[in-house]
Structure 1
């Protein structure tokens, strides 16, 4: 990659990166169009290939960028000292929401690689991708206090049911806000509703905290 790309102002860098992430996420490597990328980014096609030699180099850069960004802007912000599973998910949901506002296509781009098992990635990048995804999965369950759960509840099954409930609510919100500007939307009522649901989940799965 041409180092002059890093000399661009941050807004222009992010425009190019987000346009490329969106294109690859929606169409995969083979069907992705650099014409659509430059149109969305508002730059000339010659400039794109001045920064990146070809589509494959751009693609590999995006994989590395996405993995680095997830580690520094998502995983590093999770407080692993929180041992309450539902509270851990509460903070992860908030971090994920803020992450998606700034990097709206990173997670879908990486998910597309995983689901479609893209072949145009080096073995090293595939292995790194797998390690990062495993790290994210382990961060859900590491150092969790299972004694919080009711004695008649299997913690492993509860983990899945709670996670599915929260992910379902998140997906509902994502669809609701798909065409809206999240920057100008007051999210407080939605967070309040989300926290109410979390309290319901605690009532269902946890021991009576008043005891």
Structure 2
């Protein structure tokens, strides 16, 4: 018998919390069943495996994040760093309200579990490539100093932001205040500003 929509949403919400708290590899079917209040047999009946349940939850996270971050509206931006800052503001707000979704997103796309890597790359590779292509096109408008390799500069920005995202997720707890999340955003902007404007000052002439 198919799951009713409300029941399906309830099960996915409960299992999302477990995956967010423990990560894919350390989550067992027994933990998922206990959190959802159903038997392991029913978990397997409706989702066939832990992997398929995780991928169903990830699908839901992706759609929710795309809506919240207004991914389809990115084309409106003209300035790369202004776009990064605005998306960062939206992300921080979303992170505060939906930490479990954000944790699963980061694990899936930045520290992808080996068991689901092929499925994620196959399903979301095109989506991520399109998003990356947009950011690259926007970055092409950034004037660079003579001699700076554009591809290397772009990778530096992306690696910095990916590293900060992983750091923030590791620090995230449900009791963090809004000030904490705003501090993360300020730190993110500080790193982007250092990349954008440089860190070395004018040398004194002696």
TM-score, normalized by the shorter chain, greater than 0.5: yes
Aligned partners of 2:151, 2:87: CA distance in 1, in Å?
Answer: 19
State which of 4, 13, 17 in structure 2 corresponds to 1:19: 17
Is the alpha carbon distance of 1:130 and 1:24 closer, same or farther for their aligned partners in structure 2, counting shifts above 3 Å? farther
The structure whose residues are more often helix, as a share, is 2
Task: Please tell me whether the aligned partners of residues 75 and 134 of structure 2 are also in contact (alpha carbons under 8 angstroms).
Answer: yes
Is the alpha carbon distance of 1:53 and 1:172 closer, same or farther for their aligned partners in structure 2, counting shifts above 3 Å? closer
Offset at residue 83 of structure 1 (A): 2.9
Is the alpha carbon distance of 1:89 and 1:150 closer, same or farther for their aligned partners in structure 2, counting shifts above 3 Å? same
Q: Which residue of 1 aligns with 2:63?
A: 68
Unaligned runs of 5+ in 1: 206-211
Q: Which residue of 1 aligns with 2:203?
A: none
State which of 191, 194, 197 in structure 2 corresponds to 1:203: 197
Superposition map of 1:24-43 within 5 A: 25-27=23-25, 32-39=27-34, 41=35, 43=37
Q: Which residue of 1 aligns with 2:146?
A: 151
Aligned partners of 1:71, 1:145: CA distance in 2, in Å?
Answer: 24
TM-score (norm 1): 0.67
| Structure 2 residue 150 is the aligned partner of structure 1 residue 118 | no
Offset at residue 114 of structure 1 (A): 4.8
Task: Please tell me whether the aligned partners of residues 89 and 140 of structure 1 are also in contact (alpha carbons under 8 angstroms).
Answer: no
Greater displacement, 93-102 / 129-138 = 93-102
Q: Which residue of 2 aligns with 1:44?
A: 38
Task: Please tell me whether the aligned partners of residues 92 and 182 of structure 2 are also in contact (alpha carbons under 8 angstroms).
Answer: no
Q: Which residue of 1 aligns with 2:202?
A: none
Superposition map of 1:103-182 within 5 A: 103-111=101-109, 114=112, 116=114, 118=116, 121=119, 127-175=122-170, 177-179=171-173, 181-182=175-176
Offset at residue 167 of structure 1 (A): 3.1
Secondary structure of 1:143's aligned partner: helix
Unaligned runs of 5+ in 2: 200-206
Aligned partners of 2:185, 2:110: CA distance in 1, in Å?
Answer: 28
Task: Please tell me whether the aligned partners of residues 38 and 44 of structure 1 are also in contact (alpha carbons under 8 angstroms).
Answer: yes
- How many aligned positions are there? 194
Q: Cα RMSD between the aligned structures?
A: 3.8
